[in-house]
Structure 1
Amino acid sequence: MKTWFHSWRAAIRIARRDAWRSKGRSSLVLAMIALPILGVSAFDLTYRSSELSPAEKVERTIGAADARLRDAQMGGVPILQDPAGEMHTPAREPQDGSWPSGPTDVTKVIPAGSTVLTDGTGSAKLTTAHGLLMTEVRELKASDPVARGIMVLLDGRFPEKNDEVMVTSHFLETSALSVGSTLSARNFDRPYRIVGTYELPDSLKADQVNALPGAFLAPYGKAVEKAGLPAPDTSVSYLVRKPGGFTWNTVQQINTKGVAVVSRAVALDPPADSEVPLFQKEGWGGNYQASPAARAAELAAVSTVVGLAMLEICLLAGPAFAVGARRSRRQLGLVGANGGARSHIRAIVLSGGLVIGIAAAVTGTVLAVILTLVLQPVLEGVMGQRFGAFDIRPLELLGIALLAVLTGLLAAIVPAVTASRQTVLASLTGRRGVRRSSRVLPLVGLAAFLIGAAIALFGSLVTEQFVIVAGGSAIAELGVVAMTPALVGLFGRTGRWLPLSPRLALRDAVRNRGRTAPAVAAVLAAVAGTVAVSTYMASSEAQRKAEYTPLLPYGVASAFVPEEGGRDVPAVREAVQRAFPVDVRADVERISVGKPGCAQWEQGTGCGRYEVIVPPANECPMYASLPGGGDPSEKYTPEQRRKMLTDDWRCKTSASSGMYVSDGGLLVGDAALLKVLGVDDPATVKALADGKVVSFSRALVDEKGTIGIRQIADAAAADKAAEEHRPYPGEVDSLPAYLVPGDKKTYGVQALMTPATAKAAGLATVPLGVYVSTDRLPDSEQRQKLDGELAKLGSSIELHLEEGFVGNDGIILLSLAVFAGLVTIGAAGIATGLAQADAEADLKTLAAVGAPPRVRRTLSGFQCGVVAAMGVILGSAAGLLPAVGLRLTEERSQIRVYEENLAQGWSGESPLPDLPIVIPWETLGGLLVAVPLGAALLAALVTRSRGALARRAAT
């Protein structure tokens, strides 16, 4: 007695033999299914291997130590920390609103009898073969067993003397140095010899230098201070090993002294959240997890992507299985003639999908493992960290492989059903029979399209929910896919106006919708996604272009060096002059208070600052600070705030706002800067030459026509005064000013004085940078040349070249168009292969009546082009719906925020949001014209003009 097992075993054997005979078709389907499986499996392997275990994390963080102790910088007050030692906060909230700060002595809390290793870090500008490079310097005795695992020695040896260092491999590449080279630092004449290279497993791209404790940072800091510059900040932590380790209770005891701890024992066996006091405080939470709604949304998104990918593969592979079934119809007819039922024929065709699905699963999984192993160094380099153990999760890979099997089965369902409906006589004689398309499916598709469009419209105009718009658009697109057979029939009515070959191709596509519709649907899905993303990105780019605010006039460049008292500014100015086609050059300086070497933001000992005074009468009442603190705008009603923003000049945004140039927007320069910024008022130039401070801001000039500048010797005292809402300490110097008429755009420059005016007022200045206008926009080679010269200086240089709005979506749009084109050509090619199999008899008839051999090539090209054109046209129309819906949703969301601000009196004269919807005609044009034409030409080129000799059919 035969069972279903025996019939399926026979079907699988037949399918396996058929797949082996048709290697080309089988390889095509196998590749389509295996490639996504390969990608997903490789991603899973990479993700799991890069996901470190707690033991691996601890080893890379603290080596072989039991704990790392570091100062929490909270003045020694008790703190609360998380088990990982990454977050901490004072145990008691400050009563006066000021948070504790300051160092504490960590060594006092280290248990007696412990092994201690210091780990200090700082930074220095080190000399390289190209110039200078700001680099992290780490003082850690890496050869000590306690530090094992933190640094991995690659070449050479660990430092053993105070004049020896080892460097990371990335630093060696960046600096163009080698083992044995001499290394030194700026303002520090002591040489160091590189004796080895190493890597940080968690940061492969780090530029770091390792020295013995006390060998570099302390003497370097003294040398820098001797040069009149602030010493770089350094931090020290302690790697501690002690018997018994550091339990969670021990960590909490150490926290009471203001010291944070990273403990090996706690990391390997963390306490419950209920045992962590930090997690009981409001706002600190615990193990942060997404809400159920967020997890559901994420799962829905992943399921949608996987589902659409499987649908795309099924639509592409389905016609290929139909090709196999069509070519095997005589074999299938023999099965029926020998007593086989329709279920047996369906089983044979489905077994083809099963066989190829299993082969694709095995191939994709095996290749994923091999490629991940082979490309492991490349993947680690891209991620910037080493893998942990190579982690293979069999259940996850099995689940991914089952997707391939399922995809193969789904792709073979429609061809299996179609093949089982053919009569034995039609299969044996090669007759096609009468093909009838379903009348229900188009109606279901139309209903789905209308419902999906209504949902998307509702989401974009009522709810402001992106998920609803995307879901409705997906339903509408599936409805269009279901309507594809009927739409193909509508396209057939245009054939009466076409020449012979395209008319034959279109008629053949309409008559055989079972193979045409899936290919058209596959093209439709790919093109719809491309058009949707392209339209959304083009619209967003148009909005960014409309909202773009230039930081400088077009073609103007600026370069600032705000550190080290402008030491490198002359070299920067000359480098810009050499590299760029300079028309006008304007050198600028800044006011300096305290030591000349202080940076603009420096707050160390001996560093001060200055303040450009805004007279009380010129302050906007909504922004004026209150003596006791608080928000002054709360004193006014929304109507009063709105009136101030629209009518009070003090509260309007100045047209001269722009890039940050210096405190108060005050620069020291000459008339060349006015020319660079486009200020050509002769009275302004004369006022600057007469020793006045030229002001572009009405708020800075008081009723006497002067500008006030306060020099603050102690920056820390100024910060404390700001915290206590007191005026800054220091005397105010009043300088005569000239208010430039009108509201000229000066790109962040609020006031300008000459060096002579600053000197006469007793204001010390240091070089800041340069502005240059150019004859033409510098090309890429000139910019690279300048970048190379500036990199040699090793300074923090703020360089900006105003190029106007530059869109960065072009390459993405091109990539999307290429992807859609490849899918289109592939789907159309599959449909064309099936068409050739079906139309073999018609082609022989054409040859018998005298048609030239090129008809086969021409007809093949038009068959491919017709499928591509139908899919592209339908996909372009379907893709506009989600893009327009999402843009309307964004617009409604922004309008709602605008209305809320307007109700509170904060919108002023701001215009109502109006988001543009831009159709990317270049992308659409390429899809509508170039892709079908390219598909047609490619199909015509690869098709032979003469068919193979056919065996005479048995009578």
Structure 2
Amino acid sequence: MRNWYHSWRAAVRIARRDAVRSKGRSFLVLAMIALPILGVSAADLTLRSAELSTEQSLERKLGRADAQVSDAQTGGVPIHQTPDGNGYDPVGDFSDKPWPEGDTDVRKALPAGTKFLEDSSGSGKLRTAHGLLNAEIRELRAVDPMAEGIMTPVSGRFPKSPDEVAATTHFLESSGLSVGSKLVARGLDREYTITGSYELPDSLKSDQVNALPGALLDPLDKALTADGLPGTEKSTNYLVSLPGGFTWNMVQEINTKGVRVLSRAVQLSPPADADVPLYERKGWDNRNYEQSTAARAAALAAVGTVVGLAMLEICLLAGPAFAVGARRSRRQLGLVGANGGDRSHVRAIVLAGGLVIGVASAVVGTVLGLMLTFALRPLLEDYIGARFGSFDIRPLELLGIGLLAVVTGLLAAIVPAVTASRQTVLASLTGRRGIRRSNRVLPVLGLVAVALGAAIALYGSLLTEQFVIVAGGSALAELGVVAMTPALVGLFGRSGRWLPLSPRLALRDAVRNRGRTAPAVAAVLAAVAGTVAVATYATSSDAQSEASYEARLPHGAVSMVIADGGGRDVPAARAAVQKYLPVDVRADVDRIVVGSVNCPPFGGGKECGSYEIVVPEPNRCPLWSSSDGQDPSEKFTKAQLRALAKDWRCKESSGMTYTESGVLVADEKLLEVLAVDDPSAAKALADGKAVSFDKRNLDGSGAVAIRLITDMEAANRAIENDKEIPGTIKSFPVHQAADEVDAYGVAMILPPPAAKAAGITTVPLGAYYSTDRMPSSEQRQKLDGELDKSAANIDLHLEEGYTSDNSIVLLALTVFAGLVTIGAAGIATGLAQADAEADLKTLAAVGAPPRVRRTLSGFQCGVIAAMGVVLGSAAGVLPAMGLRLTEHRQELKWYEEALDAGWGGNLTPPVSTIVIPWGTLAALLVAVPLGAALLAALVTRSRGALARREAI
């Protein structure tokens, strides 16, 4: 034991002295290991600080109250609830009777002596400095001690009178208002003074306004209802306080009155599952998958995979650095052997180097992680949208992360330690490396792994639906390519005979020193393969999404629709759009109303009727015409269902429909905006005839009939009894457009003179516009500001075509792979220069010009980057193609299931789309190696110190 201790103590001292002496190489390895540790420790601190304890979470929900009680909306029927109150069911079996509904007086369910505080919330549109902003309205007496902790005051004070409000800092920032400003809600003439600002610790980006109970929500709801607008949908909870708190037995007692409870005491000391009656009911067995063993195992597997890949990447890059260090210290290691040291002592010295660097990396990375997280805490809180519960430092977790750095340093030094221990004392003292033969078994194993992995991935993509099989086969194939890297580097070296001097020397040096070249190439290969795989998958998915994208309008067209208010705000909005946007053609559109002009487009209300296009019986899809409630899959065979999916009667039109049956009242200008090039249709509208875009609506005489329904109750009874719907039928001669015409959801255009002649009431709906160029951001902002002045609910849509978010992802992936590639190639080049300093001095001694040193360094870096990028690009395409094919099989299966269920008319068959991201590949294959070479050449000194020839 004593000898073991002293030998390792000496080894650590030698390794520490060698690390201090070789500061550049030591800093390089330390940075490689410390950077991941910095990131992991900072992430751990951030996650643990953002993770709230039960006490902190309850404080943000309950303040200082003992519980929060709310109506379960079961009409007073007893309920069973979960301990946290989020899940509940009424007591009893309601499979054969109506589900209980209705309000309950929560205050009558509270025990005697309970103090309560009303907490109501709703939403409304509030007038701001820019226009209107939809915000949450919360009525809570925030100055009450029971509410302390729910809202954090920032400036000013909370409201104390009914004409005062406070607002969140995010609302003030978004609205352009400030403390002291006047606030007006849409529909109210009453002004409220903003007396202070606050923030919600759990939701920093919430737009919320706080008022006293009954001060804002009730007046706003009455005003909106009187004006025919939807109300605020107010919901009320109660914060309650009782000496001793609310135990689980008290919670169950309150549940018998149809009230659910979130109790502080129950959350701090939850009951056993056996004491929760709700858990005994069917369907509550797997209550929370996120906390289940399977979920934890899946999360641990994902974390383990990421950590394992990170350690592998570091070892691949740090291993050659230790190998070069061992070779530069070979005379020192030889002296150890000459003075009686055996191979274990040599291994201990090299391993001690990894231990010293690992410990230093752990300390530096952890300390920097702590400092970085503390400095960036405000930015991190703003990014996640919530305040930290506390700055939670967990020493054991940080110690584990630090041990990861130590283990990584030791693993990176294992191979160099074994290699150094196998050298003879004579070879170490003389500096001769001897003849090193490449391993012939490893390439064979790699080739077998590539073939086996490719077969597994192919099997998974073509014969199964399991992504895991494809991913596993692809990973095995990629590891096989990594194992073949030394042999592949040798194959690349054969091309050096046709190259000029500097690239030939660089390639020959890379092949001759595969011990440091192959790991760097493998590291680049791994990074590039992952990038190419994700980029190929993302590009292919993006191409498929673009192909299936359904535009609402032609590119650059604009639609403006106002559904409420009977069209009174439409003229002003039409003029505003034409004023601020580069409008080419404007087509005003109206809609048909039955009953009151204030009726919404899709009916509703006692004074509102409806209308529909009468589809002739022969044109009705058999899948939709069944009125007996029978499932289509039971009424038809699978062959019939698949045949009906191709039937023209069962094909639903795509696009956005703003009215019932897709009928718009407009003139021929709408055809121009919709890019419908049909002179016959334009002539028909000019002559007062309707234009139909759905041939199912035509009857035998070439006309279309519209049924006006005034009695909705009678219509519903007729539908239930499978009888003809009562109503007045208006018939119109029509021109049927060609089948291939895309009308973007419009089923029929009815000219205004035809509607007026038929006695149909119409009201303004909005307008469609074509533009001569895409509106700029400034123009759209001005238009939004102008439309915000209106109290109307305006639906404005500008068709910009399919937009992909993957461009940013692909750019980030390309930059990441480029940085890893340049970093790995730069590390390998630096090691090559340190390892081949004698060769460079020999070149200078024999008269090589100074620029050869710079060009040689650039080509060394470029060769490593190019080899890694080429191999990684080839290895990365396989998993992406396999995953896309597997995904296509799943989509095809779902499509066939939809066909067999009778939903085929709504769907299109899936198409397997595989697109190679040529832009990303070009950047990786050309720009990255070229950039790495140029960067290495620029940072390398062209002149080195001459040295006298060593005596042999």
TM-score normalised by the chain length of structure 2? 0.93
Q: How many Å apart are 1:343 and its aligned residue?
A: 1.8
Q: How many Å apart are 1:561 and its aligned residue?
A: 3.2
2:382 aligned with 1:381, yes or no? yes
In 2 relative to 1, CA 286–909 (structure 1 residues): closer, same or farther, beyond 3 Å? closer
Corresponding residue for residue 707 of structure 1 = 705
Corresponding residue for residue 337 of structure 2 = 336
2:430 aligned with 1:429, yes or no? yes
- Check whether the contact 1:120–1:235 (CA below 8 A) recurs between aligned residues: yes
In 2 relative to 1, CA 731–855 (structure 1 residues): closer, same or farther, beyond 3 Å? same
Corresponding residue for residue 768 of structure 1 = 765
Q: Distance in 2 between matches of 1:702 and 1:256?
A: 60
Q: Which runs of 5+ in 1 are unaligned?
A: none
Q: Distance in 2 between matches of 1:719 and 1:497?
A: 87
Q: Distance in 1 between matches of 2:278 and 2:724?
A: 37
In 2 relative to 1, CA 899–601 (structure 1 residues): closer, same or farther, beyond 3 Å? closer
Pairing partner for 2:829 from 824, 827, 832: 832
2:182 aligned with 1:182, yes or no? yes
Query: What amino acid sits opposite 2:705 in the alignment?
Result: I
Pairing partner for 1:742 from 738, 752, 761: 738
Q: Deviations over 1:356-415 (max 9, x none)?
A: 111111222222222222222211111111121332232222222221111111111122
In 2 relative to 1, CA 377–713 (structure 1 residues): closer, same or farther, beyond 3 Å? farther
Q: Distance in 1 between matches of 2:723 and 2:74?
A: 27
Query: What amino acid sits opposite 1:839 in the alignment?
Result: A
Match runs of 1:323-472 below 5 Å: 323-472=324-473
In 2 relative to 1, CA 751–350 (structure 1 residues): closer, same or farther, beyond 3 Å? same
Corresponding residue for residue 21 of structure 1 = 21
Pairing partner for 2:886 from 886, 889, 914: 889
In 2 relative to 1, CA 61–24 (structure 1 residues): closer, same or farther, beyond 3 Å? same
Pairing partner for 2:865 from 868, 871, 878: 868
Match runs of 1:576-725 below 5 Å: 576-592=577-593, 599-600=600-601, 610-627=611-628, 629-647=629-647, 649-654=648-653, 657-689=654-686, 692-702=689-699, 705-711=703-709
- Check whether the contact 1:230–1:604 (CA below 8 A) recurs between aligned residues: no
Q: Distance in 1 between matches of 2:235 and 2:182?
A: 26
Q: How many Å apart are 1:192 and its aligned residue?
A: 0.9
- Residue 206 of structure 1 aligns to a residue whose secondary structure is coil
- Check whether the contact 2:344–2:421 (CA below 8 A) recurs between aligned residues: yes
Q: Deviations over 1:176-202 (max 9, x none)?
A: 111111111222111111111111111
- Check whether the contact 1:701–1:739 (CA below 8 A) recurs between aligned residues: no
In 2 relative to 1, CA 258–245 (structure 1 residues): closer, same or farther, beyond 3 Å? same
Corresponding residue for residue 511 of structure 1 = 512
- Residue 736 of structure 1 aligns to a residue whose secondary structure is strand
Q: How many Å apart are 1:50 and its aligned residue?
A: 1.8
Corresponding residue for residue 168 of structure 2 = 168
Corresponding residue for residue 936 of structure 2 = 939
Corresponding residue for residue 813 of structure 2 = 816
Aligned sequence identity (%): 67
Query: What amino acid sits opposite 1:750 in the alignment?
Result: A
Q: Deviations over 1:112-157 (max 9, x none)?
A: 3321211122222211111111111111111111211111111111
- The 10-residue stretch of structure 1 (574-583 or 136-145) with the greater mean CA deviation from structure 2: 574-583
Q: How many Å apart are 1:298 and its aligned residue?
A: 4.3
Q: Distance in 2 between matches of 1:3 and 1:347?
A: 13
Q: Which runs of 5+ in 2 are unaligned?
A: none
Corresponding residue for residue 848 of structure 1 = 845
Q: How many Å apart are 1:683 and its aligned residue?
A: 4.5
Q: CA RMSD in A?
A: 2.9
Q: Distance in 1 between matches of 2:422 and 2:651?
A: 77
Match runs of 1:142-291 below 5 Å: 142-289=142-289
Q: Distance in 1 between matches of 2:217 and 2:907?
A: 53
2:312 aligned with 1:314, yes or no? no
Pairing partner for 1:859 from 856, 860, 869: 856
Q: Deviations over 1:434-467 (max 9, x none)?
A: 2222222222222222222222222222222111
- Residue 656 of structure 2 aligns to a residue whose secondary structure is coil
Q: Distance in 1 between matches of 2:919 and 2:353?
A: 41
- Residue 112 of structure 1 aligns to a residue whose secondary structure is coil
Q: Distance in 2 between matches of 1:167 and 1:608?
A: 42
Q: How many Å apart are 1:75 and its aligned residue?
A: 3.1
In 2 relative to 1, CA 931–423 (structure 1 residues): closer, same or farther, beyond 3 Å? same
Q: How many Å apart are 1:294 and its aligned residue?
A: 5.8
Query: What amino acid sits opposite 1:697 in the alignment?
Result: D
- Check whether the contact 2:645–2:899 (CA below 8 A) recurs between aligned residues: no
Q: Deviations over 1:494-539 (max 9, x none)?
A: 1111112211111111111111111111111111111111122222
Q: Distance in 2 between matches of 1:113 and 1:66?
A: 13
Corresponding residue for residue 92 of structure 1 = 92
- Residue 193 of structure 1 aligns to a residue whose secondary structure is strand
- Residue 125 of structure 2 aligns to a residue whose secondary structure is strand
- Check whether the contact 1:163–1:192 (CA below 8 A) recurs between aligned residues: yes
- Residue 189 of structure 2 aligns to a residue whose secondary structure is strand
In 2 relative to 1, CA 211–739 (structure 1 residues): closer, same or farther, beyond 3 Å? same
Corresponding residue for residue 535 of structure 1 = 536
Q: Distance in 1 between matches of 2:887 and 2:363?
A: 44
In 2 relative to 1, CA 229–924 (structure 1 residues): closer, same or farther, beyond 3 Å? closer
Q: Distance in 2 between matches of 1:602 and 1:25?
A: 76
- Check whether the contact 1:167–1:197 (CA below 8 A) recurs between aligned residues: yes
Q: How many Å apart are 1:345 and its aligned residue?
A: 1.9
In 2 relative to 1, CA 148–719 (structure 1 residues): closer, same or farther, beyond 3 Å? farther
Q: Distance in 1 between matches of 2:868 and 2:381?
A: 41
- Residue 289 of structure 2 aligns to a residue whose secondary structure is coil
Q: Distance in 1 between matches of 2:25 and 2:896?
A: 60
- Residue 188 of structure 1 aligns to a residue whose secondary structure is coil
Q: Deviations over 1:865-902 (max 9, x none)?
A: 11111111111111122112212222333344445556
- Check whether the contact 1:862–1:936 (CA below 8 A) recurs between aligned residues: yes
Query: What amino acid sits opposite 2:681 in the alignment?
Result: T
- The 10-residue stretch of structure 1 (740-749 or 127-136) with the greater mean CA deviation from structure 2: 740-749
In 2 relative to 1, CA 846–55 (structure 1 residues): closer, same or farther, beyond 3 Å? closer
Q: Distance in 1 between matches of 2:580 and 2:253?
A: 60
Q: How many Å apart are 1:242 and its aligned residue?
A: 2.3
Q: Distance in 2 between matches of 1:11 and 1:581?
A: 78
TM-score normalised by the chain length of structure 1? 0.93
Q: Distance in 2 between matches of 1:167 and 1:193?
A: 10
Match runs of 1:295-310 below 5 Å: 296-310=297-311
2:542 aligned with 1:545, yes or no? no
- Check whether the contact 1:638–1:906 (CA below 8 A) recurs between aligned residues: no
